[in-house]
A and B are shown apart, each in its own frame.
Chain A
Amino acid sequence: MLKSKLKGMSRELAVLAALILLIIVFSILDPVYLTPGNMVDIIKQGTINGILAIGITFAIISGGIDLSIGCTFAIVIVAVGQLTVVGVPPLVAIVLGGILGAIMGSINGILITKMNLQPFIATLGTMSVYRGLAYVFTGGWPVLGIPDNYRHVFTTKLFGDVPNSILVLFAIAIVTHIVLSKTRFGNYLYAVGGNEEAAKLSGVNVDKTKIIGYSICGACAAFAGMIMLANLGTGEPASGEGYELDAIAAAAVGGTRMAGGKGTILGTMLGALLLAALKIGMIVIGVQSFWQFVVTGIIIVIAAYFETIQDKLSAMIYKKQEKAAAAAEK
């Protein structure tokens, strides 16, 4: 029973093993790396990318992509920033921010389903629209003077060096994990991404499923943005540029299949942590910036290649078993 469960998680275990190995190697290269402070930092710096990646995992599992998350992120930052500055209570602002993100995500979903647009093109469009709106709202100026009561919601440290934002990351991860693995919506999402026609024929409301998936994606982008707003104390309309690519990388490293139908929150989380551990490790041992791009890219490619190897391996094992079964029949 446990064995079969572990087998189903082989991909996650592989990423976990890679993460542990990475930490060991960096600790050997520089023992300073293995301090609790650095370990907390890995999670802390994986938080924003992690939440964005969790969101985009929903879009990817549905067979799509969301390029607009970095811009949803920016709009929520300036909007929530403005709300808190005019004195809206932090928790109200956070709820409104989450709703705003979900609405922007659902707009993507509606464009993709009701107007039948390619997800890549639809979100490329909204990416530009959202970024533009963030500039229009602010005139390009940052929102300054975010009140401390808002910032403390995410930055207060409950115990040790662990800020609330990390707890938010884990809360989001747990909730989304349950949604994806235990609910009917989760099953539908995998079905839609795996084979849309088949899902439709078996009575799944494809449009609704996708729209919900994209709104979860938008809501996640909103939470990531609100955490960054708290961390920095300033809402810049230019923030989040290029973050969608980091999020896609985390999801890919974590084993999310880009064609849809496959992927888990645990995998994505581990992917985000792996990238953060790599980034911090390279800073600690002093790898020059130029090389960091190269190394990060290589890791992503290796992770993708591992996916192929794994598929081949399981195909081989399946064949062997079949042969053995055939032999036994004889």
Chain B
Amino acid sequence: MKKLLALVLAAVMVLSFAACGGNDAAQTPSTDAPASDAAPADDAAPADDAAPAEDEAPADDGEFNPDNEAGIMIEDVRAQFGPVPKPADGTTLGAVAKQFQNEYWRTLKEGYEEAQAKAAEAGVNITIDVQAAQDENDEQGQLAIVNNMINKQYSALMLSPISDGNLVPGVESALEKNIPCVNVNDGLIKNAPNFVGPKAIQNGELAAEWISNKLGGEGEVAVVIGMPKAFAARQRTEGFKSWMAENAPGITVVAEQNADWDRNKAKELADTWIKNFPDLKAIFCNNDGMALGVVEAVEASGKDILVVGVDGIGEAYDSIRAGKLDATIDSFPFYKAQIATECTLRLMAGQELPRVIWTPQALIDSTNVDTPAAEIINWVPTEYAE
């Protein structure tokens, strides 16, 4: 029994050490987040083509972080380059998503299909072959899909890799064969010449700003993180915290924990927080699935706590309509796919686009939940040159 006691005490020591370590780590994550581009608008927050923060020399040291690049919005691309040059008849584009188990990626797929349909309406005959890995652990399988598309000599590839590394060899061999590669959404492919996707950090900033406004700049908030390994999760949390630190000194982030994108884990986390932080006023979750779990915990507690998610899945919209979820940040995968397709066609025509093209995102709450997405982001379909 003595031995057990000693062992448990040892574990407890590790634990308290971990607690200290945790606090340290919570402070350290780079505060070099681009300042100045906190999105202004309340609803739609597209163009923040403000100059990037000064402290970011275009990093050629291997790390690619699109959030630090001087990206532009599709409207600017259109203004600069005009309508899309017509691609050759029978052009086939390959699109590879992470997985179709997730609504987000299914919607992206629908967007690609829409792009193809819209092109057909304009008399442009292209085919977009949309595939995905079996699941989010199938890194090799996703690479095999890409290699297969290269072997079939597709005209261009639009890729959303599972990890930051798994499609790098595929992109290498595609570029060798002069097949243009566009990195869509996330994860990141270092060696892909172009990136089309949302500014992940802005995502957290939009949520922070909205929560801060609702709370009048005062109160305790908490963050439910997805998988910390995911770029998007890190940036969302980072954007949220740095916005609060800079703009809302009255708001304290009292807790942040990982819930593995798992709805039930997020709910249980919130259950515990609500009991232990009686003054908790808002919870920001890295995605909607977890936010919907947190909503259940908040409902059960009978407290008035704001819950904000990210992704804009259908269930989140329903929940906002039902007055349960308070807000979500939608990055409009349906339109993102169309923007990605347009950019890819432009690149194939030899237009020299900037490395990073931002896609729109907006905060959806009860005031705009029934506004069509196209209206929120002022969507104009791709125009083809005659």
Q: Is the CB of A32 within 8 A of B276?
A: yes
| Contact A144 to B318, CB < 8 A, known contacts A285-B19, A289-B225, A295-B11 | yes
Check A295–B276 contact: CB distance below 8 A. Answer: no
Q: Identify whether the interface residues of A are mostly helix, strand, loop, or mixed.
A: helix
Give CA–CA (A231, B260) in the complex, Å: 18
Tell me, in angstroms, the Cα distance from A270 to B25 when the chains sit together.
32
Partner of A291, one of B11, B18, B263, B296: B18
Per the bound structure, the CA–CA distance linking A38 and B273 in Å amounts to 10
The contact string, 1 if C-beta is below 8 Å from chain A, for chain B 17-38, is 0110111011000000000000
Which chain A residue lies CB-closest to B255?
Answer: A286
Residues of A within 8 A of B256 (CB): 289
A295 touches B15 (CB 8 A): yes
CB neighbours (8 Å) of A242 from chain B are 260
Instruction: Give the docked Cα–Cα distance between A139 and B315 (Å).
Output: 15
Q: Determine if A111 is an interface residue (Cβ-Cβ < 8 Å).
A: no
Given A17-B1, A21-B5, A295-B15, A232 and B258 contact (CB-CB distance below 8 Å)? no
Q: Is the CB of A234 within 8 A of B268?
A: no
Neighbouring A residues of B264 by C-beta, 8 Å: 48, 228, 231-232, 239
B367 within 8 A of A: no
- B220 contacts A by Cβ under 8 Å: no
Those of A124-157 within 8 Å (CB) of chain B: 135, 140-142, 144, 155
**A21 interface neighbour in B8, B268, B292, Cβ under 8 Å:** B8
Flag if B296 contacts A231 (CB, 8 Å).
yes
Instruction: Answer yes or no: B3 CB below 8 A from chain A CBs.
Output: yes
Shortest C-beta distance, A145 to chain B (Å), equals 9
Question: What residues of A have a CB within 8 angstroms of the CB of B273 in the complex?
Answer: 283
Query: B residues within 8 A CB of A83?
Result: none
Please choose the segment from A101-109, A200-208, A298-306 that sits at the chain B interface, where 4 or more of its residues have CB less than 8 A away: A298-306
Residues of B within 8 A of A292 (CB): 18, 258
As a 0/1 sequence over residues 277 to 317 of chain A, the CB contacts with chain B under 8 angstroms (1 = contact) are 00010111111111110110011001001100100000000
Give Cα A32 to B276, complex, Å: 7
From A142, A282, A288, A292, name the one whose CB has the most chain B CB atoms within 10 angstroms.
A288
**B263 in contact with A283 (CB, 8 Å):** no
Which of B1, B15, B255 has the most chain A CB within a 10 Å cutoff?
Answer: B15
- A287 in contact with B101 given A38-B275, A233-B296 (CB within 8 Å): no
Q: Is B371 close to A, CB under 8 A?
A: no
Q: Is the CB of B18 within 8 A of A140?
A: no
Contact A306–B255 (Cβ < 8 Å) = no
Residues of B within 8 A of A (CB-CB), count = 50
A87 at interface, CB cutoff 8 A: no
Q: Does B80 contact A (CB under 8 A)?
A: no
B321 CB within 8 Å of chain A:
no
Is B4's CB within 8 Å of the partner chain A?
yes
- A38 pairs with B267, CB closer than 8 A: no
Report the Cα distance A239→B292, complex, angstroms.
14
Bitwise, A223-240 to B at CB < 8 A (1) or not (0) is: 000001001111011110
A298 near B228 (CB under 8 angstroms)? no
Question: CB distance B102 to A289 under 8 Å?
Answer: no
The 3 tightest CB contacts between A and B, nearest first, are A288-B22, A289-B258, A291-B18
5 A-B pairs (CB sep. < 8 Å): A140-B102, A286-B255, A288-B25, A290-B228, A295-B14
**Given known contacts A25-B8, A25-B12, A295-B15, what 16 new A-B pairs fall within 8 Å (CB)?**
A38-B272, A41-B275, A45-B272, A140-B100, A231-B267, A282-B18, A283-B255, A283-B276, A287-B15, A291-B21, A294-B18, A295-B18, A299-B11, A302-B7, A306-B4, A309-B3
